[in-house]
Chain A
Amino acid sequence: ELKVEQNPLFLSMQEGKNYTIYCNYSTTSDRLYWYRQDPGKSLESLFVLLSNGAVKQEGRLMASLDTKARLSTLHITAAVHDLSATYFCAVDPNTGKLIFGQGTTLQVKP
Chain B
Amino acid sequence: DTEVTQTPKHLVMGMTNKKSLKCEQHMGHRAMYWYKQKAKKPPELMFVYSYEKLSINESVPSRFSPECPNSSLLNLHLHALQPEDSALYLCASSQGPTIQETQYFGPGTRLLVL
A residues near B, CB below 8 A? 31, 33, 35, 40-45, 48, 88, 92, 94, 96-98, 100-103, 105
Contact = CB atoms under 8 A, between A and B. Distances in A.
B102 A33 contact: yes
- Prevailing SS type, chain B contact patch: loop
Interface of B: 40-43, 45, 48, 50, 55-56, 58, 90, 92, 98-100, 102-108, 110
B100 A31 contact: yes
Contact of B42 (A31, A92, A94, A100): A100
Given A42-B90, A43-B43, A45-B104, 18 more contacts: A33-B103, A35-B105, A40-B110, A41-B108, A42-B107, A42-B108, A43-B92, A44-B105, A45-B103, A88-B42, A94-B100, A96-B56, A96-B98, A96-B99, A96-B100, A100-B42, A102-B42, A103-B40
Contacts of B56: 96-97
